[in-house]
Amino acid sequence: MAAIPDLTTYVRDALAVDLPAATPRPGATAGDPHEAATVLHEDAHLQLGVWEVSPGTFPGSRAGYNELMIVVRGAGTITEANGDQVALAPGTVYVTRDGWTGEWEITESLRKVFVIWDDRRG
């Protein structure tokens, strides 16, 4: 098994990570959300990065991967396909599994650290 990289500096400095210019979020149903992301580490089965989005509403889904997110700034709500709601605020930790669908409603520009992984073993 490959060694786990030292990622502590990425998480500690999540608010200071420079992001590229934001682009429109596809599929927005309200507002004009724009998003940007930077990948800090990537290998065959894992991706770690920082993502930010401005206020608006848009659908989300996970097809072929899982994600753990930690909100570090901003606010909003995720409404899962079953109607359950998750409040997003600094400190929120949320996992979406392969096949997840829901709707994001961002009320204050939101930044998260994300870890994406798949369940394939090569």
108 assigned to some structural domain: yes
Query: First CA to last CA across the chain, in angstroms?
Result: 11
Quote the pLDDT of residue 41.
Answer: 87
Distance separating alpha carbons of residues 10 and 12, to the nearest angstrom: 6
**pLDDT tens digit string along 82-122?**
999 999 999 999 999 999 999 999 999 999 999 999 876 44
Q: Does residue 31 fall inside a structural domain?
A: yes
Classify residue 18: in a domain, yes or no. Answer: yes
> Can you give the pTM of this predicted structure?
0.87
Q: Which of 23, 16, 62, 24 is nearest to 40 (CA)?
A: 16
State how far the alpha carbon of 122 is from the alpha carbons of 30, 45, 84, 94, in Å: 40, 9, 35, 27
Cβ atoms of 118 and 64 closer than 8 Å:
yes
Q: What is the pLDDT of residues 11-41, one digit of tens each?
A: 568 888 999 999 999 999 999 999 999 998 8
Look up the CATH number of the domain holding residue 88.
2.60.120.10
Structural domain contains residue 104: yes
In a domain, 3, yes or no: no
* Range(s) of the domain holding residue 42: 8-117
Asked if residue 43 belongs to a domain, the reply is: yes
Q: Where residue 2 falls among pLDDT bands split at 50, 70, 90? A: low
